[in-house]
Chains A and B, each alone.
Chain A
Amino acid sequence: MRVFSLTILLLVLCFAPAHSAFPAQSPSPQTPAPSPPDLAAAKIIFEGHCALCHGMDGGGGRGPSLRRPKLAHASDDEALKSVIEQGIPPQMPDAWYLSKEEIASVAAYVRSLGNVPPETLPGDPVRGKAVYARSGCSACHILAGEGAGFGPDLTDVGARRGSARLRETLQNPAKTIPENFLLVEAVTNFGQALRGIRLNEDTFSIQLKDQQGRFHSFRKTDLRDLKKLRGETPMPSYASALSSAELEDLINFLAAQRGNP
């Protein structure tokens, strides 16, 4: 029950800001209801004015990707509208030529790029939490502060991933490897082999984390071999390990994880 309450609380906390770009549920009689965001018009504005840096699909380029639930310069929708209107000098120009309504629409559009809307799903989140616990997920993932930080953080996975993507990852994890996740295998000039997740890399060095959570840093000249295991993941498939009911429960539980407030 406590878990359920917490989930509801998280849902409320996480959805509230996302909805603030939309018309209030019950506008006061004195305040005219703002017009709803025009996402189609916002897409045209985005492609014309934002895509040069952020990419036509918002996936980033010269500027950062906007396909994420939390944006570094926009803690809430008011902040996002402010960023769009005023820019982030010196790199991001302001949008002085847009009306307030257009800015609100573009803000809603940008939010839509990185926020998976809540879905009505089969399964039960309480049973799903139990499935999560007994399946060993926390050996690699942190969720709501608990677990090991080897794999991606799942605290806000429900805001980042829809149920279809969650299902695909659980059944066939190699098909849905997250952006910037790379498993590597390094062999030193002395023959010591090591597998781990790439934490950082430049032309001359690479930094890894092994499954025990230990950090390793190498000059590339000290490595005999450096294999980038694209398309590989240490995560096992749960296609046969879980029944379809367990899978739906787990997906429901994960979809409810919308991040820390």
Chain B
Amino acid sequence: MKLLTLFLLTASAAFAQVPFERIVNADKEPGNWLTYSRDFQGHRFSPLAEITTQNVSQLKVKWAFQFPDERTEVSPIVIDGILYVTGPNSAAAIDGRSGRSLWTWKRPIPSDYHSIGFGHTNRGPAVLDDKLFVATLDGYLFALDLKSGIERWSAKVLDYKLGYSMTMAPLAIDGKVVVGVSGGEAGIRGFIDAYDAKTGQQAWRFWTIPGPGEPGHETWSGDDWKTGGGATWVTGAYDPELKLVYWGVGNPGPDWNGDVRPGDNLYTCSLVALDAATGKLRWYFQFSPHDTHDWDATHVPMLFDTPVTGAMRKLVAIANRNAFYYVLDRATGEFLAGKPYAKQTWATGLDSKGRPIRAPNSDPSKEGTLIWPNLNGATVWFSPSYDPQTGFVYVATREIGARYFKRDTPYKAGTFFPGGGEDELSPDDAWGAIKALQAETGELRWEFKLLSPPWAGVLSTAGGLVFSGSDEGNFYALDAKTGKPLWDFQTGGAIGDNPVSFTIDGHQCIAVAADRVLYVFGL
């Protein structure tokens, strides 16, 4: 019997095929987690409901898996009982029943590779058909055979010697794999690329900093666009009906000295909606024009449809690093609602178009300017969650200010290009929270306070639960309706990644990594 079970488990893994339609219809197979946010809409919501507010207190560790690298930020893909994980230039398939690896893949990191402004990390793979897609620090997109981890193809996306890198999970859509780049502190010119999933041929590129003759180039002057930043280091979302890819764009370069790049600096700190077939810009919305605080708009966008003033609208919501929550029409980019969800002192509000009204003296200065939030923002790269049952968006929120400084920074390829920096306030003056916001308005519904600003994303489930982690190692569950804490577990390591949920042998599991250990919990 045991042998038969093993055979069936192995067989299901061996024959795993994930056509695009399976990902589009992710809700039909809630036991799997087929794309970064489980669905293309960026919800990080699991329809599984075996673990509930009534029984979550009985949650226990089923197994743990140790990564070779510390501080993993992975969000696993789960297909028919097999977990697919990544690390810096590495990937593995793990048996969901035992926690034992089935295959591993590793690519050496070149000795002259340098991460500029972040650690060696990778936030997860993507899957399409029979391939697993992994982006590497040294700038390659790899397609691995799902069954064996053997390389099918690789595509060179970027030149790491110029400060570019890749840390995000790719987004596999209909026949294409979309990737973004890191390097916003290195004076790169950012872009979003798509590659043919079967061959690895480049399908299109969208430059986030428009070149001469392109719309938006007038928001730069001289040659400053060449080092304008606009990294795209967090996985976007996709609307299969509108066939639009939604992707966040990072800060302009240099980060804290805006004097050398007058203008709005498009499309930095923006959400862009791209035609999935061509990569052409359909619309954009800039959250922080001429940013001088390093507030990348690199967040997972959440797509949902809900009535607004009586009429059903296709919406996209963003909880932004700049401490404002935004709701836009995702077909047109029209600004519909926006308000602060965390302490901020840099803007007195948003105008009718959603453009911030800057507070006086909010720019970095030679002596230092005290502003909330700090450079890591009111939230960062880790995922929010949209819960269709409550209609709430849950945001892991950082409440911390900093003194921002402006400095001169000459550009030197492949090195830091910051133009200043910050001194963040002491830990005693900082805190964190999970905040539940009404999705279409941003109204605060509840908040659960955390000892310190978090680095972990949020998972909501149909069992009425919200899961997240703390920097002190707590993995915990809250009541999705009220925010009341229902269960917590001390993992022993800082949690800086996004939880996922899936089934093993038909039973719901929750997975999260703490430092270098991936934990899988079940009843």
Contact = CB atoms under 8 A, between A and B. Distances in A.
Interface of A: 44, 47-49, 51-52, 55-57, 59, 61-62, 89-91, 93-94, 96-97, 179-180, 182, 201-205, 230
Interface stretch (B169-177, B231-239, B332-340, B407-415): B407-415
Nearest 5 interchain pairs by C-beta? A90-B120, A202-B472, A51-B421, A91-B119, A203-B451
Given A47-B405, A56-B368, A203-B474, A61 B485 contact: no
Interface string B111-124: 01011110111000
A47 B451 contact: no
B450 interface: yes
Given A47-B407, A203-B450, 4 more contacts: A48-B416, A52-B117, A93-B114, A202-B472
A82 to B, nearest CB: 16
Contact of A91 (B71, B116, B376, B405): B71
B423 A59 contact: yes
Interface in B465-485: 470, 472-474, 476, 485
20 contacts: A47-B405, A47-B420, A51-B421, A51-B422, A52-B185, A52-B418, A56-B403, A56-B422, A90-B88, A90-B121, A91-B119, A179-B426, A201-B451, A202-B470, A202-B472, A203-B451, A203-B476, A203-B488, A204-B476, A204-B490
- Please report whether the interface of chain B is mostly helix, strand, loop or mixed according to DSSP: loop
Contact of A57 (B121, B407, B420, B423): B423
Contact of A96 (B114, B374, B476): B114
Contacts of B374: 61
B171 to A, nearest CB: 24
A59 B472 CA distance: 20
A31 B403 CA distance: 45
B70 interface: yes
A47 B416 CA distance: 10
A96 B112 contact: yes
B422 A61 contact: yes
A61 B451 contact: no
B185 to A, nearest CB: 7
B83 to A, nearest CB: 22
A204 B115 contact: no
A55 B424 CA distance: 7
B293 to A, nearest CB: 13
Contact of A203 (B70, B414, B472): B472
B259 interface: no
A106 B271 CA distance: 39
Given A47-B407, A204-B488, A230-B428, A61 B423 contact: yes
Nearest to B469: A203
B415 A55 contact: no
A179 to B, nearest CB: 7
Interface string B162-194: 000000000000000000000001000000000
A64 to B, nearest CB: 12
B69 interface: yes
A180 B461 CA distance: 37
Nearest to A94: B114
Contacts of A56: 368, 403, 405, 421-423
B115 A90 contact: yes
B476 A48 contact: no
Nearest to B114: A93
A52 B450 CA distance: 24
Contacts of A44: 407
Contacts of B476: 203-204
A252 B473 CA distance: 43
Given A51-B421, A55-B421, A90 B69 contact: yes
A83 to B, nearest CB: 15
Contacts of B403: 56
A57 B449 CA distance: 29
Contacts of B422: 51, 55-56, 61
Contacts of B69: 90
Contact of B415 (A97, A202, A205): A97
B421 A47 contact: yes
Nearest to B472: A202
Contacts of A89: 120
Contacts of B450: 203
Interface string B93-125: 000000000000000000010111101110000
A21 to B, nearest CB: 23
Contacts of B121: 90
A55 B416 CA distance: 15
Contacts of A49: 415-416, 418
B123 to A, nearest CB: 14
A91 B71 CA distance: 9
Contacts of A202: 451, 470, 472-474, 490
A49 B412 CA distance: 12
Contacts of B114: 93-94, 96
B418 A61 contact: no
